[in-house]
Amino acid sequence: MTAQTAPRWNLTNVYPSLSSKEYNADCEKVKSFISDMESLMEKAAAFSGQEDASTLGALAQEMIACYNAILLVGGTIRAYIESFVSTDSYNQEALRKESEFDLVAVKINQLETQLLGWIGKVKERLPEMIQSVPVLEEHRYFLEESARQSRYLMSEAEEMLAAELSLSGSNAWTKLQGMLTSQASVEIEVDGELKRLPSPALINLRSHPDGETRKRGYEAEDKLWTSLKVPLSAALNSIKGEVNVLNRRRGREDAVHSAIDAAHIDRQSLEAMLGAMRDSFPMFRRYFKAKVKYLGKEKLPWWDLFAPVGEVKSDYSFKEAREVILRNFGRFAPQLEAFARNAFEHNWIDAEQRDGKRGGAFCMEVPGVGESRILSNFDGSFDQVSTLAHELGHGFHNDCAVKAGKTEIQKFTPMTLAETASIMCETIVTSALLEEVTNPQQELAILESQLNGDSQVIVDIYSRYLFEKEVFERREKTELNADEICEIMENAQKATYGDGLDERYLQKWMWTWKPHYYSGGLSFYNFPYAFGHLFATGLYAIYQQRGAEFVPDYIHLLASTGEAPAADLAARFGIDIRTRKFWEDSLRVSEKRVERYCELVS
């Protein structure tokens, strides 16, 4: 098996097809559950909130049970549709089904808002409701967090309208960005042959071993994204404009406010982490300068940022990648190896690069069958092996919650903690391979992979945070054209990379293909990656101290990430995320890597 024959995923155990009776039956089932929930909400609306605690508690439990049922079936349908749309944006049947289900999803969102509003109405009664109906204890965190967030709701009529308008607003713009970037392709010479590459494969040329190929890829990206800058800037402007209006009407302090709440952290924790990240920039610049010295250049242009260094295998077959991952997962925990082996054997992974498939990588839960599915764009590089380990970590996280019997509500995990298992799994593989190296050039290659990843989630993620923050602030005053958006991106990169990169050759088009910027419901899809990286790094250090006895606590943590604030979960391991010390300690792991890297290239 080669990188070119990497597998496609199989979801036939979910539904036989998009037109099957099983699929249609679940579509009707979720509509029935929605109808049941609407009846419960009508009943709740008739309550004054002064009824006895047992009556209110019983109603709350009915609504939670019904909402869990909606999320289970609705989430399964959504994931199944996404399995087609994300891998083949030309599939008209899937696109039609997606549009049909979007209407259902709006009703689900509206019901969630109504539920949130009702919980806010009875929030003072929650303690006695839980005491009267003890089963509510299982969802105490959901109830208490919903009560806290209910203060940021508009009127019910406004929230219902906003949900409906999102279909032709932010949701439509999100689809446009996905469609344009997944279908974009360009002709380029690679390995002496003229090829037409889809955008994900073009982006992957950034790590090609040949410098001229990397440069041609950079130039081809510039031409490609220039040709799409008008519709993509329109999409970005429209989404950020909509979010700004809704944040203002909901009483949010700023655009970051809702992202902090969604991350289940507080501003103090965010500022502590960001401060430690800023202080680490000089250390990462030493790494960039050492790399450019190794490459024999004076400055590091963007197209060399991901250049391979040292002697690393760059032609992994998918089978070889699988064996590397399974071997090292098994050294950490048999449960992790068993999970990954099951994922490989049952075709949970779509790794082939092809036209119409979205770039990047992700893991999605398929709740109806208690499984996950993983998308990647495997090209045989060491980085893609690490990416595969990363996404399998997300799947293991889901699996821990499933095996613990968590409900769909209990499985809600903030992005900050959603990256815990993924970064941990990536670290397990790269750290294990580092221990196996037999010569300095192999060690250098693995350190390069680690530091490239470290710098992306610290330096580059911070640049993306600065970029998105400024886009939101400037969008409050006016629309931004593509050139202005590019300027904001370049300025953010200059502020973070500094003299570590050649400022003549940055990547001003980073905003075009990153889907993270194009969500109306989840802004700042960036700093949680840094949180997850540093949090997992700290946990890995604890694992190195405790060994196998760490694993049960870790699995319990993964099963519980939807049931407590990040600070409370971190405290289980003696971690205080509100102070800079923890973040600085985690960053010292990268500092040691930089020191060794500099020794090897000197």
Query: pLDDT band at 383, cuts 50/70/90?
Result: confident
168: helix, coil or strand?
coil
Residue 456 pLDDT exceeds 90: yes
Helices 267-295/461-475 angle, 10° precision: 120
For range 156-176, the mean pLDDT: 95
Residue pointed to by tokens 């590397």 = 324
Confidence (pLDDT) at 555: 96
Confidence (pLDDT) at 313: 76
For range 65-87, the mean pLDDT: 98
Enclosing H/E stretch for 362: strand 362-366
For range 129-141, the mean pLDDT: 97
Residue 90 pLDDT exceeds 90: yes
pLDDT in tens, 393-452: 999 999 999 999 999 999 999 988 998 999 999 999 988 888 888 889 989 998 998 999
Report the share of the chain in percent with pLDDT over 70: 99
**How many whole angstroms separate alpha carbon 374 and alpha carbon 263?**
23
Question: DSSP H helical segments within 250-307, as ranges?
Answer: 255-262, 267-295
Confidence (pLDDT) at 382: 84
Which strands, in side-by-side order, build the sheet including 349-350?
349-350, 371-375, 362-366
133: helix, coil or strand?
coil
Question: CA neighbours within 13 Å on the CB side: how many for 164?
Answer: 6
Length of the chain: 602
Q: How many CB atoms lie within 10 A of CB 67?
A: 22
Confidence (pLDDT) at 314: 75
Listed in sequence order, the residues at least 6 apart from 404 whose beta carbon sits closer than 8 Å to its beta carbon are 556, 559, 560
Confidence (pLDDT) at 70: 98
188: helix, coil or strand?
strand
CA-CA-CA-CA torsion for 294, 295, 300, 305, nearest 10 degrees?
-90
Confidence (pLDDT) at 3: 47
Query: pLDDT band at 99, cuts 50/70/90?
Result: very high
For range 177-193, the mean pLDDT: 93
Amino acid at 135: V
**How many whole angstroms separate alpha carbon 149 and alpha carbon 142?**
10
Of residues 21, 14, 16, 115, the one with CA closest to residue 72: 14
- The encoded tokens of residue 31 equal 């509509």
CA-CA-CA-CA torsion for 74, 80, 83, 88, nearest 10 degrees?
-100
Query: pLDDT band at 289, cuts 50/70/90?
Result: very high
Residue 102 pLDDT exceeds 70: yes
CB 375 within 8 A of CB 362: yes
CB 224 within 8 A of CB 218: no
pLDDT in tens, 318-376: 999 999 999 999 999 999 999 999 999 999 999 999 999 988 899 999 999 999 999 99
Query: pLDDT band at 297, cuts 50/70/90?
Result: very high
Confidence (pLDDT) at 2: 44
Of residues 358, 546, 177, 377, the one with CA closest to residue 554: 546
The most distant pair of C-alpha atoms in the chain lies apart, rounded to whole Å, by 78
Confidence (pLDDT) at 168: 95
**How many whole angstroms separate alpha carbon 59 and alpha carbon 24?**
30
Confidence (pLDDT) at 330: 97
**How many whole angstroms separate alpha carbon 30 and alpha carbon 21?**
14
pLDDT in tens, 553-602: 999 999 999 999 999 999 999 999 999 999 999 999 999 999 999 999 98
Which neighbouring-strand residues pair with 108? none
pLDDT in tens, 303-326: 999 999 998 777 899 999 999 999
What is the pTM for the complete model shown? 0.88
- The encoded tokens of residue 259 equal 């992202």
For range 208-237, the mean pLDDT: 97
Confidence (pLDDT) at 95: 95
CB 480 within 8 A of CB 237: yes
